Amino acid sequence: MTIFAPDDVLVLGAGAAGMMCAAQAGQAGLRVRLIDHASKIGEKIRISGGGRCNFTNTHLNGHDGAAYFVSQQPRFVRHALSRYHAGDFVQLLARHGIEWQEKHRGQLFCRHSATDIIALLQRECAQGQVQWHTGTRILSVDYRNNLYQVHTEQDCFQAAALVVATGGLAAPAIGASGFGYELAKQFGHSIITPQAALVPLRFEHWQSHGFDALAGVALPVAVRCGSGKQAMVFEEDLLFRHKGLSGPAILQISSYWQPGQTLSIDLCPQLDLAAALCRGKHGQKIRLDTALHQLAPQLPKRLIDFWLAQAPFAALAKQRWADIADHHLNALAYSLKHWQVLPSGHDGHKKAEVTRGGVNVAEIDPKTMASRLQPGLYFIGEVMDITGWLGGYNFQWAWSSAVCAARALAAQSTHL
Ligand SMILES: Cc1cc2nc3c(=O)[nH]c(=O)nc-3n(C[C@H](O)[C@H](O)[C@H](O)COP(=O)(O)OP(=O)(O)OC[C@H]3O[C@@H](n4cnc5c(N)ncnc54)[C@H](O)[C@@H]3O)c2cc1C
């Protein structure tokens, strides 16, 4: 076993946050070593955003971003996001000549490939003279004589500061593990129960009720979870699947959904459907299915046919619109505007994009990402109880928290 001379900083996890922090700390003059158990680094970046990485969102351009994050303390993100925001990351891309494009709702994607971002982070690390150890299993971590010792199968690395950037549990096939949570607990931190988030939802009896026949149908909806001040509503696309529901609307609401909670889905959010059906029917010879198609063209034909084949409406589908009583039309409109579904679960960490929960941020300094319980210990990125919405928020959190920690480490080293 080789025992390495102490470095200034050991960063555990060479994902988005770990590479960013290592690069920035290295460029500030610190001796930094980056350790990851995966042999191929940045895999989550590579597969993100359909291979184009939705690396940030313009809504995080200096505004208060707390509303876009799920946490026991969403306001925790404010400081880091104000110190390093979406525009700062865009400037970094510009310095590396990486082209990007804006899509839906402020989401910024690489124009060519997510691998551009991995290459950028590697170049930034090289500029900071960061030492790499990949494909290295970490056996244990100790803290002795003001030094962290990280024992791997071959080596022992040491440093005065340890940055935990090992992410959450989503996508275990490409290296995710609960290592960060165990390490946090070892040093006295509490963990907000990690759960799959940004994940498709499942439903009991989905197939026996015939919903699997709608697999592939997509439409814009408004999905609601909770009530009163706690209610969350997302207006996004919904996708029917063989085993349940997915699409951006469902992924977003999954970060707020708790087992046992019913979701209310408005399948026709653009229209006061009851009024349109009751007021528009006079003198109309067309059938109800045709009427629905004309009034709400965003409702796919397969969904209309399925809906009108259900017991309460089956007798109406082929009737002339003008002949149908208002109370039937109101009932149909209500069923489409207030579809109540009770998820039985979700697809789990394998299919989730992120993990909600994680290291309790009440025990972390929001200005430095330093542990309030243990000297020299830092947490960055997804390992913390900070979960962004779909749309580039999670990567921006990785960049912002990483830069904050790196600046704090650099500032501390100048005081030594
Ligand atoms: C399919 C998919 C698509 C996504 N798309 C987007 C998107 O477009 N936009 C967006 O903002 N977010 C997206 N995300 C979420 C985003 O990828 C994460 O929030 C982000 O990568 C978190 O960065 P991180 O550095 O904290 O963790 P990670 O990027 O997960 O990095 C953690 C690193 O730690 C390493 N590690 C784990 N355990 C150990 C251990 N025991 N020992 C050593 N190393 C360890 C891992 O190998 C990994 O390299 C997506 C996620 C997935 C799964």
47 touches ligand 1 (CB under 6 Å): yes
Among 346, 364, 398, which residue terminates a domain? 346
Q: For the chain, what is the mean pLDDT?
A: 95
Identify the pLDDT of residue 13: 97
When mean pLDDT is compared across 41-45, 90-94, 392-396, the lowest value belongs to: 41-45
Say if ligand 1 is within 6 A of residue 354 CB.
yes
| Number of compact structural domains in the chain | 2
Closest Cα to atom 51 of ligand 1: 353
Does residue 14's CB lie within 6 angstroms of at least one atom of ligand 1? yes
Is the model more confident about 54 or about 314?
A: 54
Nearest CA to ligand 1 atom 48: 15
- For the stretch 153-211, pLDDT in tens is 889 999 999 999 999 999 898 889 999 999 999 999 999 999 999 999 999 989 888 99
For ligand 1, whether the C-beta of 189 sits within 6 Å is no
Does residue 136 line the site of ligand 1, with CB under 6 A?
Answer: no
Shared domain check, 82 and 65:
yes
Q: Is the CB of 171 under 6 A from ligand 1?
A: yes
Find out whether 122 and 19 touch, Cβ atoms under 8 Å.
yes
Same domain, yes or no, for 174 and 284?
no
Q: Mean pLDDT, to the nearest integer, of 122-140?
A: 96
Whole-number Å distance, alpha carbon 381 to ligand 1 midpoint, is 8
* Model confidence pLDDT, tens digit, residues 335-344: 999 999 999 9
State how far Cα 2 lies from the chain centre: 39
What pLDDT score was predicted for residue 175? 87
Residue-wise pLDDT tens digits, 4-43: 888 899 999 999 999 999 999 999 999 999 999 999 989 9
| Rounded distance from Cα 149 to ligand 1 centre (Å) | 24
Residues 339 and 359 in one domain: no
Instruction: Write the burial class of residue 290 (CB in 10 Å: 0-12 exposed, 13-18 middle, 19+ buried).
Output: middle
Cβ atoms within 10 Å of 182's Cβ, excluding its own: 12
Domain range for 296 is 201-346
Question: Which ligand 1 atom sits nearest the alpha carbon of residue 174?
Answer: 47
36 and 179 fall within a common domain = yes
Q: Give the percent of the chain with pLDDT over 70.
A: 99
Residue 175 Cβ inside 6 Å of ligand 1? The answer reads yes
For ligand 1, the distance from its centroid to the CA atom of residue 281, given in whole angstroms, is 53
Average pLDDT value for residue range 238-250: 96
Q: Is the pLDDT of residue 414 over 70?
A: no
CATH number of the domain at 386, please: 3.50.50.60
Whether residue 33 is found in the same domain as residue 176: yes
8 A C-beta contact, residue 138 and residue 179: yes
Whether the per-residue pLDDT at 415 is higher than 60: the answer is: no
As a whole number of angstroms, the distance between CA 293 and CA 298 comes to: 8
The letter for the amino acid at 375 is P
Q: Whose CA is nearest to atom 53 of ligand 1?
A: 353
Cα-to-centroid distance, 59 and ligand 1 (Å): 21
Q: Is 165 in the pocket of ligand 1 (CB under 6 A)?
A: yes
**Pocket flag, ligand 1, residue 222 (CB < 6 Å):** no
* Closest C-alpha to ligand 1, atom 10: 392
Domain final residue pick, 312, 346, 380: 346
Residues 170 and 210 in one domain: no
| Position in ligand 1 atom list of the atom nearest CA 166 | 34
Which residue has better confidence, 216 or 281?
216
Segment 248-295, tens digit of pLDDT: 999 999 999 999 999 999 999 999 999 999 998 888 889 999 999 999
Does the pLDDT at position 135 exceed 70? yes
CB atoms within 10 A of CB 250: 29
> Are both 16 and 139 inside the same structural domain?
yes
pLDDT at 416: 45
Percent of the chain past pLDDT 90, that is, above it, reads 88
Q: Domain check: are 325 and 367 in the same one?
A: no
Q: Is residue 276 within a helix (H) or strand (E), and if so which, with residue range? A: helix 273-280
Whether 186 and 106 map to the same domain: the answer is yes
Rounded Cα gap, residues 71 and 356, in angstroms: 8
